[in-house]
Amino acid sequence: MSKIKQISTSIIILIICLLFGVMSNNAKATERATQGTMLGDVNLDGSVSLEDVIYLNKKLAGVIDFNEQQIANADCNQYGSDNTNRINALDAVVLLQYIVEKVPELPVGNIYKIEGISYNYIDDEKINLDGVTFKKDEEDFTPTIKLSPKKIYEDYSFVYKNAGYIDLTCDVYDGDNKAGSLRVLVGKQGDVNLDKNVDLSDIAEMLNIINGTYSGKISQDNLDKCQETVLKNYNAMPEVQKLMIKLADITDKTTNLLNLDTEDVAKLMRKYALKGAGIEYYYVVDGASYNYIDDTELNLNNVTIKKYEIETDKEVEFTPTIKLTPKGMYENAKSVYDQVGYVSNENCIVYDGDKMIGRIHVLIGKKGDVNFDGKVDNSDVTEINKIVDARYSGNISQNKLSGAKTVFDNYISMPEVQKLIIKLADVTDESIELSNINEQDALAVAEMYAEAGAGLNQ
């Protein structure tokens, strides 16, 4: 009987010891959990061993749960990690490599964060990174992406043929290190309905969207006011909807639905019509040219002359030809100059080779002749000083010269002529910026007048 009591007492003592040991270990684990991160110590026993790899794999399999400290300790591979998915199978691989000494230390790299989605045209040479951020340890870094939209289209043309667009992820590198991945969508500019063609159906699609006064939140079904649009078919795929907007917004090239307007429709119609007529290029010619009467070439600093491919909308380099020169214009219109003090031609033709591609507005006047009286003298110096002293606001179409009557007052309804006056007055910078006119210009014109009076300048 006494032996039985002894055995029972031993068992009780053993149980108490075991319980105490478990409680002690749990207490130590809880204490360690508050002592900071020890990468690799997943079971919180104060060391890193194969047991931690086993614990981590159990967590990944959903067998056990981790507390916050265990999650922090398990984040051994910190490439592209974030708070929503901090640990994964790569962490288990890295931890095992560390234990067998294939990895010298933990973590294995910097903390990278890549946020955003890239939307592109199939013929783009570079990935569009508008709206995408790349962080390395919370600092910006310059990413390297080896694929281009054009290459993606070539390699995955079979996907494009089936869906009308391509949606995949591209590896992102920081030097030779893989920093993460970026989701990239690619489609054909103007192909709004993803049927792989740019035609009247796309124009109709854009009009449907514009007329529907769509709210701008592209993930909701809020197109009740307009006809059925292809956007509705992708309500569960907002990224594809944004790609469609990018394909439709051919003027601004954004993914903002509110940017779609009749200008996009007009441009797409023009491209469709020109392509149907067999025309390969279109041109943008705009602006005005401000010159001195003795210039031998036109000043094109404020003129836009560009050439684009109809199919790709890409700019093509070319050298425009303008047969008119300021000096020739002055000689041909000297009688007009003698009457008004300047010459203006709104129909100066621009050529690409022998092909007429547009017209620009050309204005000429005499350098320093600010008041258009045909000569450079003290009256021009006075005119410049009045402009400087009045501290003119910069808006050349308004009359805010504090009562100082200037030649600007005579041309309030003719802003191009006002800009020519600035060009003639700003003899030091030769710009058309009113804010550039200063005392140095008045002094320079005074010197021009003095030299002319001394017979040194004609």
Q: pLDDT tens digit string along 336-345?
A: 999 999 999 9
Amino acid 270 reads: R
Q: Are residues 204 and 257 in the same domain?
A: yes
Does 136 reside within a domain?
yes
Question: 272 Cβ partners below 8 Å, 6+ apart?
Answer: 190, 198, 199, 200, 203
* Secondary structure of residue 407 in the 3-state scheme: helix
Domain end position, chosen among 187, 210, 237: 187
Does 74 reside within a domain?
yes
Q: Residue 331 and residue 294: Cα distance in Å, rounded?
A: 10
Does 247 reside within a domain?
yes
Question: 227 Cβ partners below 8 Å, 6+ apart?
Answer: 208, 211, 212
pLDDT digits (tens, 9 = 90+) for 108-126: 666 678 899 999 999 999 9
pLDDT digits (tens, 9 = 90+) for 4-23: 444 344 434 333 333 333 33
Residue 149 has pLDDT above 90, yes or no: yes
How many domains does the chain divide into? Answer: 6
Residue 169 has pLDDT above 90, yes or no: yes
User: Nearest-5° angle of CA 18, CA 23, CA 27?
Assistant: 145
Does 371 reside within a domain?
no
Q: Are residues 266 and 211 in the same domain?
A: yes
Q: Residue 54 and residue 56: Cα distance in Å, rounded?
A: 5
The pLDDT value recorded for residue 448 is: 84
Q: Are residues 266 and 327 in the same domain?
A: no
Q: Are residues 286 and 358 in the same domain?
A: yes
Residue 215 has pLDDT above 60, yes or no: no
Does 95 reside within a domain?
yes
Q: Residue 254 and residue 121: Cα distance in Å, rounded?
A: 12
Prior bond of 415 cis (ω within 30°): no
Q: Are residues 20 and 64 in the same domain?
A: no
Q: Residue 17 and residue 45: Cα distance in Å, rounded?
A: 19
Q: Residue 38 and residue 44: Cα distance in Å, rounded?
A: 8
pLDDT digits (tens, 9 = 90+) for 340-398: 999 999 999 999 999 999 999 999 999 999 989 898 988 888 888 877 776 444 443 33
Range of the domain at 220: 200-276
Domain end position, chosen among 57, 89, 109: 109
Q: Residue 189 and residue 244: Cα distance in Å, rounded?
A: 9
Q: Residue 160 and residue 195: Cα distance in Å, rounded?
A: 10
